[in-house]
């Protein structure tokens, strides 16, 4: 029997699938212990039946009866053997121990990427210049920063997993800043940053708490855009009530960006993108979603270079002249 350490349940299963010969494969994996139950064999012997999960898959495993396992979870380290039973892979736990790890991170397909995105978000928020956009971003994100770091960005289409929201958000910000640098037209960097960070905030209302990937009750009644606008309005009212000056023009500009985060790619929209910041956000959002849907084979950098040849972000779809906007 080979004994190998694997980074995930899927990696362990892949090693079993591609093994040479008929040997079983054993690996040490950090997982979430989703459930534990006692079961009995046909001869009356008691054993443990456990459901294990991580960001790649879930698996039902058996283990010799161990009452200590009742107190374990949710984060555990298991030594598990994958062998063949009735023509299919079967999982048997050899050892299990409690570990101090964030179970939500264990449910991410790429925990390190999510950890890095969380840190990047904190750095971007800290680097924002004093002013209304910084005030709004901090008022909205600081109370929910934990949830924002683990929520999914979708149920199916893109970034549909634990931590997908923060990964998508930070990728959108990087793409949008790249688009904004393509030409010399003025761009409010603070507005663009705020718009990118907040454009999907309403998904905290639209989706149920992870690791589930389903709509919340609220999400069955309305989408994330109106919920994001509601959160924005409440934050502005709170900041103004505390004596801060939040100009209407800043609120309108930010609201326009949030409303238009999908706008440039909806040809039937009644309100076209009217500012460079809104156009950059909308295009960056579509780029991030397309890259996630198509994998790393999507040539985002090539798209940026192609756009650069136009020498104008105004060439992005569904736009009007910025001079038509009163701010």
Looking at residue 122, its pLDDT comes to 97
Q: What is the pLDDT of residue 300?
A: 54
User: Could you identify the residue written with the tokens 């984060």?
Assistant: 75
* pLDDT tens per residue across span 150-187: 999 988 878 888 899 999 999 999 999 999 998 888 99
- Ordered domains of the chain (ranges, CATH): 2-102 (2.40.50.140), 108-324 (1.10.3210)
pLDDT confidence band for 308 (50 / 70 / 90): very low
What is the per-residue pLDDT for 188?
Answer: 96
Q: Is the pLDDT of residue 295 over 70?
A: no
Q: Is the pLDDT of residue 321 over 50?
A: no
pLDDT mean over 246-275: 80
The three-class DSSP label of residue 305 is helix
Confidence class for position 313, pLDDT limits 50, 70, 90:
low
pLDDT surpassing 80 at residue 69? no
Render pLDDT for 173-232 as a digit per residue (tens, 0 to 9).
999 999 999 888 899 999 999 999 999 999 999 999 887 788 899 999 999 999 999 999
Mean predicted lDDT score pLDDT of the chain: 84
> What is the band of 325 on the pLDDT scale with cuts at 50, 70, 90?
very low
Pairing label, strands 75-85, 25-40: antiparallel
- Residue 108 confidence (pLDDT): 84
Per-residue confidence band for 87, with pLDDT thresholds at 50, 70 and 90: confident
For a pLDDT cut of 90, what percent of the chain falls above it?
49
Residue 13, H or E segment: helix 9-17
pLDDT for the residue 311: 42
The DSSP result for 231-255, as a single string, is HHHHHHHHHHHTT----HHHHHHHH
Query: What would the pLDDT profile of 2-57 be if each residue is shown by its tens digit?
Result: 456 778 899 999 999 988 777 889 999 999 988 888 888 888 888 888 898 888 88
Side-chain-facing half-sphere of 61: CA atoms under 13 Å: 30
100, with CB counted inside 10 A (0-12, 13-18, 19+), is: exposed
Contact 240, 246 (CB under 8 A): yes
CA 7 – CA 258 distance, rounded (Å)? 38
State the alpha helices, DSSP H only, in 57-202: 103-106, 111-127, 132-141, 145-148, 164-180, 189-198
């Amino acid at each position: 029997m080979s004994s190998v350490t694997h980074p995930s349940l899927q990696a362990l299963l892949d090693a079993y699938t591609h093994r040479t010969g008929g040997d079983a494969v054993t690996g040490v994996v950090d997982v979430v212990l989703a459930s534990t139950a006692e079961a009995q064999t046909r001869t009356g012997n008691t054993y443990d039946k456990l459901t294990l999960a991580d960001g790649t898959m879930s698996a039902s495993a058996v283990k010799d009866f161990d009452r200590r396992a009742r107190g374990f979870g949710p984060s555990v380290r298991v030594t598990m053997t994958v062998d063949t039973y009735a023509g299919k892979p079967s999982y048997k736990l050899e050892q299990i121990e409690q570990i101090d790890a964030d179970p939500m991170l264990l449910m991410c397909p790429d925990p390190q990427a999510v950890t890095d995105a969380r840190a990047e978000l904190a750095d971007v928020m800290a680097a924002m210049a004093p002013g209304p956009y910084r005030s709004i971003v901090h008022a909205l994100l600081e109370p929910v920063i934990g949830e924002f770091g683990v929520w999914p960005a979708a149920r199916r289409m893109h970034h549909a997993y634990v931590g997908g929201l923060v990964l998508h958000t930070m990728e959108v910000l990087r793409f949008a800043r790249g688009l904004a640098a393509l030409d010399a037209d003025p761009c409010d960097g603070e507005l663009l940053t705020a718009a990118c960070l907040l454009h999907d905030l309403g998904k905290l209302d639209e989706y149920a708490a992870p690791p589930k990937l389903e709509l919340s009750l609220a999400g069955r009644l309305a989408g994330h855009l109106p919920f994001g606008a509601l959160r924005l309005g409440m934050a502005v009212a709170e900041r103004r009530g505390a004596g801060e000056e939040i100009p209407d023009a800043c609120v309108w500009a930010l609201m326009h960006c949030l409303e238009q985060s999908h706008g440039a790619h909806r040809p039937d929209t009644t309100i076209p993108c009217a500012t460079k910041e809104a156009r950059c956000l909308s295009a960056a959002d579509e780029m991030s979603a397309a890259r996630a849907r198509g994998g790393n084979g999507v040539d985002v950098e090539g798209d940026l270079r192609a756009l650069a040849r136009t020498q104008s972000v105004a060439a992005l779809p569904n736009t009007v002249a910025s001079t038509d906007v009163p701010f």
